[in-house]
Structure 1
């Protein structure tokens, strides 16, 4: 629904599908979202490494192909680019709603947040409009001391956890259309089971502008996938279930056919 809020349709990827299947689906889309979750190792991590390499290759070959990495996706990007499984630190940001603090050395206008209206950018600094559900993150010191991370990404924002510890919360690649959120831009508009998530007009606009930026980046691609193949693979072929009544925190959940794959791990934005 997050990609749909920006005007895109979605094709789900399943990490336990053969890579040939995953790779063929990548040819049906114009951008990629690495979603949240819990898997940080094993086959899932290896697939994410391949996906990141594919995103870089597409852009190196002249196709504008954006990537949004949210929460777990953000953490995996840090692990992969730093080439270390120890770059993440403990943060006390479980069920936390807070503000964003902009880094002084970054021109916000040249980043994903530059697409937000000035008034909303200012409110992001002062109001609690972004939500976290994290036990891991990376401090400013660790980020800037890691030459691989700080050369590949620019840090856009930081936030303070419940213990007043600063940690990096928004990053953007210097040479690729890759954005990472440690916070959850999708939750404000689409998740109602956790009372700390904000649903004010400003909070909803945060979701909408974040989604619109992703899709605007996908629209820069001149590649037009075969319509018939796109229609055959859209997420609409699967049935969402109302799970909010169980108090899980998620209002809708997809249960994919176990014959096809057990878990949906990435969602693809198709313009």
Structure 2
């Protein structure tokens, strides 16, 4: 997905890593009231500016809620101390798709703070998962590599099967998938792609930091025939990334956009939402004050119908 400028149709929704070996993360799922934070994005499109400074497309909120979690929107204007406080209260973090500078923007700055907190927490045995979708996955690679290594891998408005790697079959992300469904993933166009940039397989193989940190679970081929990494998970940390959009399979319906809505496409979205939220259940972070918790959640906000001026059906503005 593009990391230069914002285009609602270009991507629909949207540090160097520690090399220390963390304490093994063996916590069982014990938290049945998880809260997943979603990092907002800065409004840059003129038609959206009257509604708020930052936003989250509604599909991401519904996606996380469908897995059994609540959502906390995280603004881009807080202090480091405030982000550190939020980190202790939420049980996971979602980096959504979009189009921002992945090194110099406020979005990148805040993401870097949470990334460092998550690495340190997991190193200490304090389980904390992160998921990146489309640009969010690209952001994870920038945070780990310490530089932007993206290239033109345009796959605009196309649904594709996944070219699974051998590692996919022993991965955490796909551990709940049946053998039959893993085969379906490689045969049916279940993954909606709406991006212009990505990480090529060649670049990944040439970068020691990325190879040490991530395992590639799938690849795909862009319109220019470049092979790009389409699904990743961290080797040690509970960090996951997809270049495609699982949330659109259930919650986006534009007729001119190639959202997969087959039975298997919806099943894929369900499985992944359930997986990530269950990762959040392994986090013991919590709010100490019930009133603060209630006021921090997405329920305090009303989504705006955005169909007249964006590619999203609904958007939360902040």
TM-score (norm: length of structure 1): 0.89
2:218 matches 1:141:
no
Relative contact order: is structure 1 or structure 2 higher (C-alpha 8 Å, sep ≥ 6)?
1
Q: Quote the offset at 1:220 in angstroms.
A: 1.5
Q: Quote the offset at 1:150 in angstroms.
A: 0.6
- 1:245-256 to 2 correspondences below 5 Å: 246=308, 248-256=310-318
Cα distance in 2 between the residues matched to 1:224 and 1:44: 24
Cα distance in 1 between the residues matched to 2:218 and 2:66: 23
Q: Quote the offset at 1:107 in angstroms.
A: 4.9
Which runs of no fewer than 5 residues in structure 1 stay unpaired? 257-271
Q: Quote the offset at 1:136 in angstroms.
A: 0.6
- Once the two structures are superposed, residues 186-217 of structure 1 have per-residue CA deviations (whole angstroms, 9 ceiling, x without a partner) of 11111112431111111111111111000111
Cα distance in 2 between the residues matched to 1:123 and 1:110: 17
**Corresponding residue pairs, total:** 253
Structure ranking higher in helix proportion: 1
Cα distance in 2 between the residues matched to 1:37 and 1:27: 26
Is the Cα–Cα contact under 8 Å of residues 14 and 22 in structure 1 kept in the other structure? no
Which deviates further from its counterpart, 2-11 or 215-224? 215-224
Cα distance in 2 between the residues matched to 1:117 and 1:20: 43
Q: CA RMSD in A?
A: 1.5
Give the corresponding residue for 2:299.
Answer: 236
Displaced runs of 4+ in structure 1, greater than 3 A?
none
Cα distance in 2 between the residues matched to 1:237 and 1:61: 34
Give the corresponding residue for 2:274.
Answer: 212
- 1:1-271 to 2 correspondences below 5 Å: 1-40=62-101, 41-85=104-148, 87-104=149-166, 106-193=167-254, 194-226=256-288, 227-244=290-307, 246=308, 248-256=310-318
TM-score (norm: length of structure 2): 0.76
Is the Cα–Cα contact under 8 Å of residues 109 and 115 in structure 1 kept in the other structure? no
Which runs of no fewer than 5 residues in structure 2 stay unpaired? 1-61
